[in-house]
Amino acid sequence: MTIRYLPAEAMAALHRRRGPVVDTGLTVMLLGPEANRFVLANSGLFRWREAFEALVPVDGETALIVSDGADHTRRRRLVQPAMHHRQVDGYLKTMADSADEKIGAWRAGQVVDLYAQFRSAIRRSTIASLFGERMAADEAFFGESLQPLLDLVDNVPQVIALQRRLRLPAWRRAMAARARVDERVFAEIGRVRADGGGDNVLATLVHGHDEDGGRLSDQEIRDQTVSLIAAGYETTSAAMSWAIYALLTTPGAWERARAEVESVAGPRIPDRGDLRKMPYLNGVVQETLRLYPPAVVSVRSVAEEFTFAGRRVRAGRTLLFSPYVTHRLPELWTDPLSFRPQRWDPADPGYRKPGPHEFLPFGGGPHRCIGAVMATTELAVMLARLLARVSVRLLPGRPRPVGFAAMRPRDGLRAEILAVDRNT
């Protein structure tokens, strides 16, 4: 049963009626694969800071997502090495251990919210992998303290601006929470700088420098740290819940994925070599990101006037484009609303490799999500542990997708645990 997100479905309906350019007066929408290709190939026409201003209360003034031009290039160059495939491979055990810790506490007959459980597991895994066990020990603190900030930015920008201007309670709660987070992060930056070593992302940010010897300021380090934590678990945990939902509601999908995990890795934690031998599980990850991309809509601020599909778009406009809309187009995808992980297997007769403008759950161009490899790896590893160890059934009901910053199930994903393998 495929879930539909109504705001994005409204955009899809406008695309069918009006074509690739839809001007609502408030925004301009560029929709479909050729529109995506144009936006991603012409990054110089757009600005990120104005488009993502609403995220500044959480991520900070210097986070990658709100950086443009040379500042973005410099900051990204210092963060990028820690997100490379080879580095992410070193995080596999941490990812699996975080999942196993949650799974090990479950009992047959227990009802759990799988979304909340894996949200916590992914938060801990993200912090431990990127910033070390000392910060990961405060996973619950970061979850509690970041939530008011995430709640704030999970609104349209106009609402956030009103909250800020009037200093309404939600804004005050968010700013108090940010002060607590900042105190903890700045203290850790100071400890890492005093220690003079370390092999995680935080140490790289503190001690790293570019080819000209330039270093990040403490504020820049704080902003990269908080944005990587918040974005890392907010979007990945949403995708995890949709992957579980799809596996449990698509006939035969759970059983097929489980059989593949058991045949390749058995009871042990999968390594990178194992993951490469699991085309169906990898297809589950890709198909989840196709049908349920956490960022259903992406935003740009138009910096220079341009023409697309015969329509002129003036500077200063807010532009929207939608991975969700593109990922469900019948002209691109056979049986587009069906969950078919096998469509991603090159050995499958129906395989077709999509272009970067046709499949873009992590965006594209110079601003493509820096955590894409980590997110897909984390999803595969945690799904593998769940499949290997747990029998589960969803409780009756259909999850309702919500969220401006990341599409997630509004009331979680409640399920009954039928059995847990304690020997895995």
Among candidate residues 363, 364, 361, 213, the one with its CA nearest the CA of residue 291:
361
What HEC string does the chain produce?
Answer: CCCCCHHHHHHHHHHHHHCCEEECCCCEEECCHHHHHHHHHCHHHEECCCCCHHHHHHHCCCCHHHCCHHHHHHHHHHHHHHHCHHHHHCCHHHHHHHHHHHHHCCCCCCEEEHHHHHHHHHHHHHHHHHHCHHHHCCHHHHHHHHHHHHHHHCCCHHHHHHHHHHCCHHHHHHHHHHHHHHHHHHHHHHHHHHHCCCCCHHHHHHHCCCCCCCCCCHHHHHHHHHHHHHHHHHHHHHHHHHHHHHHHHCCCHHHHHHHHHHHHCCCCCCCHHHHHCCHHHHHHHHHHHHHCCCCCCEEEEECCCEEECCEEECCCCEEEECHHHHHCCCCCCCCCCCCCHHHHCCCCCCCCCCCCCCCCCCCCHHHCCCCHHHHHHHHHHHHHHHHHHEEEEECCCCCCEECCCCCEECCCCEEEEEEECCCC
Distance between CA atoms of 141 and 154, rounded to whole angstroms? 20
Angle between helices 218-249 and 372-389 (to 10 degrees): 40
Block residue for tokens 């990587």 = 228
Among candidate residues 255, 236, 244, the one with its CA nearest the CA of residue 379:
236
Distance between CA atoms of 267 and 259, rounded to whole angstroms? 12
Neighbours of 396 (CB within 10 A): 6
**Residue 6 labelled as part of a binding site:** no
Residue ranges of the annotated binding site for heme are 369
Residue ranges of the annotated binding site are 369
